Chains A and B, each alone.
Chain A
Amino acid sequence: MKIAVASGKGGTGKTLVAANLASVLSKDVSTTLVDCDVEEPNLHLFFPSPVTTADVTVPMPVFDPEACNHCGKCAEFCRYGAISVLPNRILFFPELCHSCGGCMLVCPNGAIREEPVRIGIVTTSHPSNRLTLVTGILDEGQSHATPIIRAAKEMGGSSDLIVFDAAPGTTCSVVETVTDCDACILVTESTPFGLHDLSLAYEVMKLLNVPSGVVINRSDGEDAEVLAFCRSHGLSVLLTIPFDRGIAAVQNRGELISRKDRAWEEMFAELYARCRTLVGVHE
């Protein structure tokens, strides 16, 4: 089973949910946790252990000045504006390049080849016997997150149980993470921001046809609007985590509430059981 944890709004507690869920599950079964929030990955802070590192590269064009006759076909083809051909030289803007390979295909002179360029890394560690953590990390200054997410998902392999921690938002990074998942946990908070962004994230799950349920985090009891939204959209509330300075203090220091408190361990086990029901109902 592949479970994604997503949110729309940032800082609602995706990492708290993913880290505790995977930690609890890995007591009994082999579990892989994949950090797909590659712009700001945080899961590794909760599971410090030695990592192995692999570079993530994307192919980028290299221009052979001898073979190039400045015909400009590459620049004309590139839809991202990554190439400018001047009478005597070529300007290439790597931050705009999507690595589609088109320039190389259209060059009539064979003057373009591709070379791998590093944009980030994927690290793998084994914080406990049955837990594998895979983290995608975009290099600072790079802009394309999806190739890193793809690499991290591939590295996560095909374990029976995988938990993916998604980036905030509703666009490419989230789509890349949630695609092919069996279920998605949407983490929200009871504010107009939380609700607004939950409704957007829910639209993405509908589009991708991934069954989803909701975790309300930092609940101070004022949940009526979120609950009404869930009811009217047929979303089940899988877990409610109260606002509690104690929980915040544990989380803020990189520790796990499910390790500190037996009751939370049981609640995260129950969260998994409810995710399974989500999938069953869907089928």
Chain B
Amino acid sequence: MSAVSEVAAGAPPVARATPRAASIRRARRRRLRRAVWNVVGLGVFLVLVFPVFWMISTAFKPDTEIHSSSPTWFSIHPTLQHFRDAMARPYFWEVVKNSLIVVGAVVALSMVVAFLAAVALAKYRFTGNKLFVVLVIGILMLPQAGLVIPLYVVLAKYHLTNHLMGLVLTHLVILLPFAVWTLRGFIMGIPKELEEAAMVDGSSRLGAFTRILLPLVAPGLVATSVFVFITSWNEYIFANVILTDQANQTLTVWLSYFYGTSRATDWGGLMAASTLTAIPVVIFFLLVQRKIAFGLTAGAVKA
């Protein structure tokens, strides 16, 4: 505020001599400026999206085009061969199944456990809630590489390495803080009056909860579980360490071992496999991005 009044004091009033001609000139200049920005915007778009485009484009190209010294942007003879090859690779279907099992278990467990804690944080004032928030956000910040050794040693002690269960527990603990924090935001967004009105109408607290709170928070639950799904699906370091047998691995670990030596690399197959790994994530992410993006900056940005 003070900054503006300072500006106001320092600047002379703008002259308005020939309003008509000036406004036309100004409009034309504005249109030109916008056109220039549009071109810049399109350029940025092309550069940003290029790697994704190149992945998909390569996945559909026959090998002759991939290894050609003058690359084509789009293939004239698109092929599905690389997708067939990638799926026919050893363990593909096993690792897809493993990924789905891990993700399913992590989503189910984390949503139930996190929802309860989120209700506590959003709806109750209690001694120690600040400490709990510090704990939750503190864990969110721990670098995963620093946790590999202790988790591995402890899981090994209980014979949980090379078991999907070991990975489920690991993902659960790294994703719970995120889920609690995000769900808390969603629950806080529900007006207290709605719940109170239901209770005045004779509903019990539990009744108000199931009939009013739950339906309202359902979109938040869906968004959070999708984000948990994505993170668990993408997770690499723990899956790589905990699951040692090839048949026990998850899709991202399987993909990381796809790459051979440069000359022997099946680029088409690698890009087809990459596309297959990314597809579910991209679809889900597009669905929930708006709802989730601001969880980590909650309060600073009003979404």
A joins B in a complex: no
Q: Which residues of B contact A (CB under 8 A)?
A: none
A-to-B contact residues, CB < 8 Å: none
